[in-house]
Chains A and B, each alone.
Chain A
Amino acid sequence: MNEKAIHILDCNVAKATDRSIVNDKAIHPLDLNVAKATDGSVVKKNDIILAASFVVIAIICAIVIQVFVKKDGNIAVVNIDGQVYKTLSLSVNTELKIDNESGIDGYNVLVIENGFAYMKDANCADKICVHQDKISKVGETIVCLPHKVVIEIEGEDAKLDGVVQ
């Protein structure tokens, strides 16, 4: 959009002289102001409303998912480097140490307690796995990326191939 409004007659003159700054159609001064507004200022309020609505929607989704959609799981599957290492029942309180014997370079300590699973300790550099919240619902995971350890909760449809007591 040009910076100046152009009178209709001037437009025809400009066309005749083929000046590249002129638009193909004449622009009414009011339209120009409206168009200028879309460059940023006036319509920005709607943008903020939109962004805020999305944030609210996201929060509502998160709450709905957490409370209604997620199902309680009954087993915790320990994967090392993509392969299933052990399957633990959530109803049995245990502590499992995964270390060099299990095939990782270091150690992770997994705890099952009161139907929840969490990483009690690990010797990885950032200990993100240890700081992660305890999990209990189907699909939730605790991941230790440096050690390639993934703990995933599975539910009723899952098949137990072995339970560690």
Chain B
Amino acid sequence: MNKKGKRVAVCGVLTTVALIFSYIEALIPIPIGIPGVKLGIANIAIIAVIYIVGDTEAIIVNLLRIVLTGILFGNFYSFLFSLVGGMLSVILMILVKKIKKLSMVGVSMIGGVAHNVGQIVAAVFLMDNTAIAYYLPVLIIAGVVTGIVIGYVGQLVTKRVESNFKVNYYN
């Protein structure tokens, strides 16, 4: 993406999209005995930022949406889990994308798993309860599944906007 104004506008739109998805996923209770664990559907907007805008923008947008979601829709614990999981997810996605061995689906899978693992790790430390780690296998699988879905939808989206925005699949 070339012009600065365009970049800022797109980031704004995608931050909003991330917020909306965060709101929707806050409505879905996850059948795990820990309040605040989320699926990470907002990653669809984050991965769009990574592929359409850039890496630093993705980190900023991610941080913004985590803070805003925490203020608007979340509680203290969901904010902290989201922070650890979300930042780990975005950083790993950016690094993995640079290795260039995976398609968007693969990058998104890494993001999904990192998001969930990050949440579990944060929960174990914050709640001081190791039993939470028992959910690790389930959440790894959930991360893979959401990653696949988000990656696939992300590919559909970036193909559609290719005519207007330069998509850097290959950075």
Contacts and interface: CB of A to CB of B under 8 A. Distances in A.
A38 B103 contact: yes
Contacts of B103: 38-40, 43-44, 46-47
B169 A39 contact: yes
A8 interface: no
Interface string B143-165: 11000100100010001001100
Nearest to A66: B134
Contacts of B143: 54
Interface stretch (A55-63, A92-100, A112-120): A55-63
B105 A47 contact: yes
Contact of B109 (A54, A61, A65, A70): A54
Interface range for A: 20 to 34
A34 B100 CA distance: 11
Contacts of A31: 170
Interface of A: 1, 21, 23-24, 31, 34-35, 38-40, 43-44, 46-47, 50-51, 54-55, 57-59, 61-62, 65, 69-70, 138-141, 143
A34 B101 contact: no
Interface of B: 2, 33, 100-106, 109-110, 113, 129-131, 133-134, 136-138, 140-141, 143-144, 148, 151, 155, 159, 162-163, 166-167, 169-170
Contacts of A23: 166
Contacts of A50: 102, 106, 109-110
11 contacts: A23-B166, A34-B170, A35-B169, A38-B100, A44-B105, A50-B102, A54-B113, A61-B136, A61-B140, A70-B134, A139-B134
A87 B123 CA distance: 26
B106 A46 contact: yes
Nearest to B101: A46
A51 B109 contact: yes
Given A47-B106, A54-B141, A58-B141, A141 B33 contact: yes
A33 B148 CA distance: 24
Contact of A35 (B136, B137, B170): B170
Contact of A65 (B101, B106, B134, B155): B134
